[in-house]
Structure 1
Amino acid sequence: MTAPRTLRGEPGGLTTLLRAALPAVPGVNRLPGIRKGSAGDFRGLAFTREGVVVERARVEAYAAVCGFPRRDVVPVPFPHLLAFPLHMAVMSDPAFPYAAIGMVHVENVITAHRAVGIGETLDVTTSVAPPRPHARGVLLDFTTTVSAAGETAWESTSTYLRRGRSVAGDQAPGLEVPDPPTGGVEWRLPADLGRTYAAVSGDANPIHLHPLTAKALGFPRQIAHGMWTLARSVAAIENRLPDAVTVEVAFKKPVLLPGTVRYAAQQGDAGWSFAMTNPKDGSPHLLGRTTPA
């Protein structure tokens, strides 16, 4: 793993999305500067952002979209937004051996070591290690650390599946949530939810925006962001969680928009478990649990 490279300002936008998408275009993906390196040669990559200020307006816009109350500290999943430009920088880098289009977010683990206040200045670093084996391809772990004055306040691991040829090694078991909760409440999700969340998160992946752009990438219509389903699930119980908490989720099936989901949560000895499911057949969209950190 090389030392982290520094990203300046607020990266993102159409230029970043274009750089991330071009390696998936046949012919174009062979051009210098776009051509990806070999998976066998990949030893890791890291980027960092320094002096990132937590802005109240952005936090409140995120809270409104995801169902959190207005507070002077950020919602538990919010720092992921500060890391997302680093995820895109990694995926669009020629040294990263896979195109961003086609990467499937399958799991996410967040650990908040303390509450992060609005107005804090943070340093954010994301690194990705060489791929791990999976039955349908490879897994890539994007590990993020958010620190203030040299002390880690928040960290996460976002695991992506890239379908195709695998790599050697033993497969690790995925997140399991035994006896997920049932019952609960139904939430009706609007057709423009993906566009609304994209506006506050910076994640404008075409699969989330419009029926035509989603169909071009193999979906019947646009789908909700996985990190929105995580955030909305946590928002329903966040006032009962400690400031220092770990949240683990597995993303199972996409949520088509517009659509209806059922949400249920239950408290156990070790923390909370929760599930977002299809109300018609009970199949899971998301399974998760929390534990004190």
Structure 2
Amino acid sequence: MPTRRYDDSPGLGSLYARTVKATLRKAEYEPDLDGLTLELPRALVDQDHLTAYREVTGFAAGPALPVTYPHVLAFPLHLDLMSDPSFPYKPMGIVHLSNTITQLKPIPMHAELSISVHSTPERPHPKGTVFDILSAVSVDDEVVWTDSTSLLSRSAGTPTAHTDLLPDPSLEANALWDLRANLGRRYAAASGDRNPIHLWKLSAQAFGFPRQIAHGMWAKAAALASIQRTSGLPDAFTVRVDFRKPLLLPSRVLFAHRSNGTATDFALYNDDHSTTHLIGQLAPR
């Protein structure tokens, strides 16, 4: 499996230009079956950037990184992987289906991190082809955090293909969130994810949305920050979310969470509870 190593995180400006170019290219090549691994052996957290991330997601200050923050650090490597000529799918238009994070122990905010990213073989889906981008973060040569991001490349699909979905929990709302129109731009500034569907009404309409939509990883982070404030989070746990329906901005949404004994179920609904935007489950390790 070929490996590409970096002395510093790839610049997002050039990566977005490559992403657009990769989307426009013709698919005249075969996937690299050996895959490509990207590594950033030494990464330090910019504390101002971390503060901005906490503010937009709701995580309180503390000695450890928010559990979703390493995903932001790995995101430039995700873009680099998906815009590489060996990558078999056009990156623009890929749909984020789910995300699973496992924190094996809290990550100190001043730790030196090592980050690696690679993709898995494709598998069929009723609406196209699904693949995962896997990320891992190590501290002192010990893996302390992993992330699996499941993505859909739309095509004719396989109607009989199995889809792995979290069960829909029956939850009563704990909170009402009033989300402003600029939320996508605020999270983009803190995360680096400047996909145009999240930024402005006109740019979202160019991709078929009536107006801009919230980032899925913002929704996951905000949900976990809310659970942390009310119930606390364990030091070691796995948390998965499925992204069901786009969350349009501005909007009012209901957040619900409940412990079922061994795990915590949570969800985001629209304000009349008729549409599910996100379903999640957190289980201690």
Task: Find the partner of 1:234 among 212, 219, 224.
Answer: 224
Amino acid at match of 2:281: R
Q: Secondary structure at the match of 2:212?
A: coil
* Aligned-partner residue type, residue 54 of structure 1: V
Amino acid at match of 2:204: A
Contact preservation (8 Å) 1:223, 1:255: yes
> After the TM superposition, which residues 168-187 of structure 1 pair with which residues of structure 2 at under 5 Å, given as runs?
171-187=161-177
Deviation (angstroms), 1:267:
1.0
CA contact (8 A) 1:108 1:248 kept: yes
Q: Which residue of 1 aligns with 2:197?
A: 207
Task: Spell out, residue by residue over 1:229-256, the C-alpha distance to the aligned partner (whole angstroms, 9 max, x if none).
Answer: 0000000112522010111100001111
* Contiguous gaps of at least 5 residues in structure 2: none
Q: Which residue of 1 aligns with 2:185?
A: 195
- 1:289 matches 2:259: no
* Equivalent residue letter for 1:100: P
Q: 1:13-52 alignment to 2 at 5 Å?
A: 13-25=12-24, 29-30=25-26, 37-39=29-31, 42-52=33-43
Q: Contact 1:4 / 1:125 at 8 angstroms: preserved in 2?
A: no
Q: Which residue is 2:82 aligned to?
A: 91
1 CA distance for matches of 2:116 and 2:145? 11
Q: Which residue of 2 aligns with 1:147?
A: 138
For 2:120 and 2:13, the matched residues in 1 are separated by 26
Displacement of 1:166 in angstroms is 4.2
Change (3 A) 1:225 1:107: same
What is the rounded CA distance, in whole Å, between the counterparts of 1:247 and 1:164 in structure 2? 29
Point out the more displaced range, 280-289 or 91-100. 280-289
Contact between 1:55 and 1:118, CA under 8 Å: does it hold in 2? no
User: What is the count of residue pairs matched by the alignment?
Assistant: 283
C-alpha deviation, 1:167, in angstroms: 7.5
- Return the alpha-carbon distance in structure 2 between the equivalents of residues 105 and 214 of structure 1: 16
**Contact kept in structure 2, 1:252 and 1:284, CA below 8 Å:** yes
The correspondence for 1:249, drawn from 227, 236, 241, is 241
TM-score, with normalisation over the residues of structure 2?
0.94
Q: 1 CA distance for matches of 2:153 and 2:22?
A: 14
Q: Is the 8 A contact 2:9 2:77 kept in 1?
A: no
Once structures 1 and 2 are overlaid, which stretch shifts more, 92-101 or 16-25? 16-25
Using the size of structure 1 for normalisation, the TM-score is 0.91
Alignment map for 1:150-165 (pairs within 5 Å): 150-165=141-156
Deviations 1:204-249 (A, max 9, x none): 1111111111111111111100000000000011252201011110
Partner of 1:271: 263
Q: Is the 8 A contact 1:42 1:97 kept in 2?
A: no
Q: Displacement, 1:138?
A: 0.6
2:48 to 43, 52, 57: 57
Residue 100 (structure 1) aligns with: 91
Percent same amino acid at aligned positions?
37
In the superposition, relative to structure 1, how do residues 222 and 139 fare at CA in structure 2: closer, same or farther (>3 Å)? Answer: same
- 1:78 CA displacement: 0.7
Deviates more, 1:200-209 or 1:233-242: 233-242
Distance in 1 between the 2:111 and 2:264 partners?
29
- Asked if 1:67 is matched to 2:66, the reply is no
